[in-house]
Amino acid sequence: MPNITMSVNGRSVSAEAEDRTLLVDFLRDDLGLTGTHVGCDTSQCGACVVHVDGEAVKACTMLAAQASGSEVRTIEGLAAGGELHPVQAAFQQFHGLQCGFCTPGMIMAATDMINRHGASLDEAKVRAELDGNICRCTGYHNIVKAILAAASEMADAQQAAE
């Protein structure tokens, strides 16, 4: 079995895994990072979205070996120093989660979306960008509101920093 080494949430990890091991199974089963969820078997639901080298990736569509040498960030690594990330905080404030199962993937997809589009996001664009993430509880209404609020807050914070 090949040895796989990657950085996960800023920490270097190394483990042996079968060639066929998916990144999501490596994270969940080998590293015990169960915040990344598996909601389907056809790469449609987006519950498993993580960031690989700064980009949103469905961890069920990538082999762990393909991510070897990469920087991986999961939902467990998003809050810094006990402070919720602005996207996490907005999901709570706007009630963008109910059962919580799709939430990690939603939040990782949303942070990537905001990183790419920033304050230029509007409702139509957020809805279109969420095409790869399914939620059965919220009807997306509050998820969209949360993402727009977080995008605006992050843009303001960036402007203030500049």
Partner 1 sequence: MGAEGIGARVARKEDKRFLTGKGRYTDDITVPGMKHAVFVRSPHAHAKINGIDKTAALELPGVIDILDGKQLTEDGIGSLICGWMIHSKDGSPMNMGDWRPLATDTVRYVGDAIAVVVADTKAQAWEAIEAVHIDYEELPAVTESADALAEGAPQIHENAPGNLIYDWEIGDSAAVDAALASAAHVTSLDVTNNRLIPNAMEPRAAIGLYNEAEDHYTCWTTSQNPHVTRLVMSAFYNVAPENKLRVIAPDVGGGFGSKIYIYPEEIVCLWASKRTGVPVKWVADRSEAFMTDAHGRDHVSNIKIAFDADNRITGMKVDTLANLGAYMSLFSSSVPTYLYATLLSGQYDVPNIHANVRTVYTNTVPVDAYRGAGRPEASYIVERAMETAARELGVSPAELRRKNFITEFPHETPVIMTYDGGDFGACLDAAMKAADYDGFPARKAESVARGKLRGIGLSCYIEACGIAPSKAVGSLGAGVGLWESAEVRVNAVGTIEVMTGSHSHGQGHETTFAQLVAERLGVGIDTVNIVHGDTDKVQMGMGTYGSRSGAVGMSAISVALDKVEAKAKKIAAHLLEADEADIVIEGGELKVAGTDKTLPWFQLALAAYTAHNLPDGMEPGLMETAFFDPTNFSFPAGCYICEVEVDPETGVTDITQFVAADDFGTIINPMIVEGQVHGGVAQGIGQALMETCAYDAKNGHLLTGSYMDYTMPRAVDLPSFTVETTKTESPSNPLGLKGCGEAGAIGSPPAVINAITGAIGTNDLAMPATPQAVWAAMNR
Residues that bind partner 1 (CB under 8 A): 18, 20, 28, 33-42, 44-45, 47, 74-76, 78-79, 84, 88, 91-93, 95, 97-104, 107, 123, 126-128, 130-131, 133-144
C-alpha triplet 150, 82, 85: angle, nearest 5°: 15
Q: What is the total residue count of the chain?
A: 162
Taking alpha carbons only, the member of 162, 156, 72, 65 closest to residue 119 is 156
- 71 versus 76: smaller Cβ distance to partner 1: 76
Compare residues 2 and 69 and give the one whose CB is closer to partner 1: 2
Q: How far is the CB of 162 from partner 1 (least distance, A)?
A: 28
Residue 145 neighbours by CB distance under 10 Å: 18
Q: Toward partner 1, which CB reaches closer, 28 or 51?
A: 28
Tokens of 24: 């999501």
Q: Nearest approach, Cβ of 86 to partner 1 (angstroms)? A: 12
Q: Could you tell me the smallest distance in angstroms from the CB atom of residue 127 to partner 1?
A: 4
**Under 8 Å between Cβ of 62 and 4:** no
| CA 38/CA 47 separation, integer angstroms | 6
C-alpha span between 70 and 8 (Å, rounded): 8
Smallest separation, CB 159 to partner 1 (Å): 25
Q: State in angstroms the smallest separation of the CB of 124 from partner 1.
A: 8
Q: Which is nearer to partner 1, 102 or 151 (CB)?
A: 102
Contact 134, 66 (CB under 8 A): no
- Closest to partner 1 by CB, 16 or 161: 16
